[in-house]
């Protein structure tokens, strides 16, 4: 049988594919970033019809707006959903008590999937190429679940870019059922404006980045601002969890050539893309990129093997001992741990490497300005990166190294880069608590 005939023999409508390959009690992985909404909505409908119970769904960053979970009222006995990272979609479902957050560092993602071992994966893929291979696109979330699962339902969409990856191509013969349904790629807005604070933070950090460094940038305005300012450097490398728009521009400008990388030399190594249309177009069949599994990309030991590794990530708030909250607003889970801790640790262990936690000194929740350097974290806040791992912390008022510093020295250093309007209060609180002497 040719792969074309095999494809046609496995092609089904969404509900038939789900009914045949999903069973009550299954662990089901439903993807991340761009997900197979047509097939997943069919699953929700069949659960609502009473076809399944005791299903456990697992996902990461379900950014597609087309999921209709809000339309259903499932009991925990019917369906439970766990996500390993939060976006606006998950925050809605969490508020509706239809989804739970499962804490995890992305460096442990492959181990987690090895424990869960989903029976079924429902993921979106590109149409088969001339050799009969479908591609999962720039979605490293799917790599390990697909390797461990027993049955694969692939929803075919022409919008999915084909990427050069270590575990991203699946032959028609490896897939149990096909559903055809176009999906809109999950998009993030282009960063067109920067703030004065972001520019100042970037300038502080640039003092520690030299020609030949290898860059990891987190998501957000500061990371992109720093990225765009690196165009004057040469022979940069990139090893990063998420491909930012600024990294793409650095490659186009020639500042990034990956010529000095010892790990995936000559290629930009990336986990996933959540970006603009031009980013998705740029990575399509681009051999200058290598998309890896989380174990390959977000692994502290492998990150540490790269000389001059520079890691730049953000924070919601940092207390005077150096504890970093980067994923919650008080008790409210807002995003997730992601790969921050892994890159902080890996870059700090790298020969000549540096890790930075960078953020503006103030925020304005509900229109009221507050300091993001605080005496103690707000009650219920999640410590994303422990103080024992934190190296550099940067705001628009400076950049300080906390690594191996005493608590009094940490407090003084952090107060020095807090907004001037809050320094006296922070100093008073630290002295009152006996933190300073």
Residues 410-429 have pLDDT tens digits of: 999 999 999 999 999 999 99
**CB–CB of 246/224 below 8 Å?**
yes
Q: Is residue 335 within 8 Å of residue 379, measured between CB atoms?
A: no
How far is 418 from 140, CA to CA, in rounded Å? 37
Confidence tier at 221 by pLDDT (50, 70, 90)? confident
Print burial letters for 398-431: b (CB count within 10 Å at least 16), e (below 16). Answer: ebbebeebeeeebbbbbbebbbeebbeebbebbe
Catalytic site includes residue 241: yes
CA dihedral for 269, 273, 275, 278, sign (positive or negative): positive
3-state secondary structure (DSSP) of residue 302: helix
Residue with tokens 């707006």: 65
Query: Using 50, 70 and 90 to split pLDDT, how confident is the model at 189?
Result: low
Q: Yes or no: say if 225 and 203 are a contact pair by the CB < 8 Å rule.
A: no
Which DSSP helix (H) or strand (E) runs through 222? helix 221-229
Q: Would you say residue 364 has pLDDT above 70?
A: yes
Mean pLDDT score, 16-27? 98
pLDDT over 80 at 65, yes or no? no
Place 194 in a pLDDT band, splitting at 50, 70 and 90: confident
Q: Return d(Cα 310, Cα 60) in angstroms, integer.
A: 26
Percent of the chain with pLDDT over 70: 99
Tell me, what's the pLDDT at 188? Answer: 78
List, in order of start, the domains of the chain with CATH numbers: 3-180 (3.40.1080.10), 196-432 (3.40.1080.20)
Annotated active-site residue in 90, 183, 241, 396: 241
Phi and psi angles of residue 250, each rounded to the nearest 5 degrees, phi first: -65, -35
CB 240 within 8 A of CB 264: no
Give the whole-angstrom CA distance, residue 269 versus residue 60.
Answer: 20
Q: 3-state DSSP helix/strand/coil percent for the chain, to nearest 5?
A: 35, 25, 45
| pLDDT band (50, 70, 90) for residue 80 | very high
Element (H, E) at 317: strand 317-319
Residue 186 clears pLDDT 90, i.e. is over it: no
Residue 191 has what pLDDT?
A: 64
* Spatial contact of 40 and 64, defined as CB atoms under 8 Å apart: no
What pLDDT digit, counting tens, does each position of 268-312 carry?
Answer: 999 999 888 999 999 999 999 999 999 999 999 999 999 999 999
E-strand spans in 126-223? 133-135, 151-156, 169-171, 177-180, 214-217
pLDDT at residue 56 in the model: 97
| Strand runs labelled E in 126-231 | 133-135, 151-156, 169-171, 177-180, 214-217
State the pTM of this model. 0.95
Share of the chain above pLDDT 90, in %: 88
pLDDT at position 190 over 80: no
Average the pLDDT over 378-405 and give the result: 97
- For residues 248 and 282, the answer to whether their CB atoms sit within 8 Å is yes
Q: Determine the average pLDDT of the residues in 72-76.
A: 92
Q: Is the dihedral of CA 38, 39, 44, 49 positive or negative?
A: positive
If one counts every other C-beta atom within 10 angstroms of the C-beta of residue 63, the result is 20
Q: Is the pLDDT of residue 138 over 70?
A: yes
Q: How confident is the model at residue 192 (pLDDT cuts 50, 70, 90)?
A: low
Dump pLDDT digits (tens) for 142-168.
Answer: 999 999 999 999 999 999 999 999 999
Contacts of 333 (CB under 8 A, 6+ apart): 86, 91, 94, 101, 327, 382
Residue 61, φ and ψ in degrees, nearest 5:
55, 65
The values of phi and psi at residue 94, to 5°, are: -65, -45
- DSSP H or E stretch at residue 123: strand 120-125
d(C-alpha 156, C-alpha 36), whole Å: 9
- Looking at the DSSP bridge assignments, the partners of residue 399 are 394
Return the ∠ at Cα 297 (arms to 386 and 351), rounded to 5°: 65
Q: What is the 3-state secondary structure (H, E, C) of 89-111?
A: HHHHHHHCCCCEECCCEHHHHHH
């Amino acid at each position: 049988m040719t792969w074309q005939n095999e494809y046609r023999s496995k092609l089904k409508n969404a509900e038939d594919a789900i009914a045949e390959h999903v069973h009550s009690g299954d662990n089901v992985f439903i993807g991340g970033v761009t997900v197979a909404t047509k097939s997943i909505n069919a699953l929700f409908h069949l659960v609502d019809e009473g076809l399944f119970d005791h299903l456990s769904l697992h996902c990461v960053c379900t950014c597609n707006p087309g999921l209709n979970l809000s339309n259903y009222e499932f009991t925990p006995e019917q369906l439970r959903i766990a996500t390993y990272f939060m976006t606006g979609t998950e925050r809605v479902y969490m508020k509706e008590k239809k989804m739970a957050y499962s804490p995890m560092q992305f460096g442990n993602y492959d181990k987690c999937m090895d424990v869960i071992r989903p029976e079924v994966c429902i993921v979106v893929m590109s149409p088969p190429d001339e050799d009969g291979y479908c591609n999962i696109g720039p979605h490293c979330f799917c790599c390990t679940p697909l390797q461990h699962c027993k049955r694969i339902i692939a929803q075919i969409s022409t919008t999915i870019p084909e990427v050069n990856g270590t575990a991203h191509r699946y032959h028609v013969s490896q897939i149990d059922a096909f559903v055809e349904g176009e999906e809109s790629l999950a998009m993030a807005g282009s960063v067109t404006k920067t703030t004065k604070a972001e520019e100042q933070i970037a300038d502080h950090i640039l003092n520690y980045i030299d020609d030949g460094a290898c860059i990891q940038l987190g998501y957000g305005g500061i990371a992109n601002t720093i990225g765009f300012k690196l165009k004057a450097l040469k022979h940069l490398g990139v090893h990063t969890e998420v491909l930012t728009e600024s990294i793409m521009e650095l490659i186009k400008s020639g500042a990034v050539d990956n010529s000095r990388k010892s790990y995936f030399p000559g290629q930009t190594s990336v986990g996933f893309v959540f970006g603009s249309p031009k980013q998705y177009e740029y990575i399509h069949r681009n051999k200058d990129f290598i998309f890896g599994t989380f174990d390959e990309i977000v692994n502290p030991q492998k990150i540490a093997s790269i000389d001059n590794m520079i890691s730049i990530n953000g924070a919601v708030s940092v207390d005077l001992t150096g504890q970093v909250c980067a994923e919650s607003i008080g008790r409210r889970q807002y995003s997730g741990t992601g790969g921050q801790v892994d890159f902080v640790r890996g870059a700090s262990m790298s020969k000549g490497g540096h890790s930075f936690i960078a953020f503006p000194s103030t925020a304005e929740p509900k229109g009221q300005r507050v300091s993001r350097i605080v005496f103690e974290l707000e009650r219920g806040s999640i410590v994303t990166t422990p103080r024992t791992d934190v190296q550099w912390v940067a705001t628009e008022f400076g950049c300080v190294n906390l690594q191996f510093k005493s608590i009094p020295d940490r407090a003084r250093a952090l107060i020095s880069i807090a907004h001037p309007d809050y320094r006296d209060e922070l100093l008073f609180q630290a002295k009152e608590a006996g933190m300073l002497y």
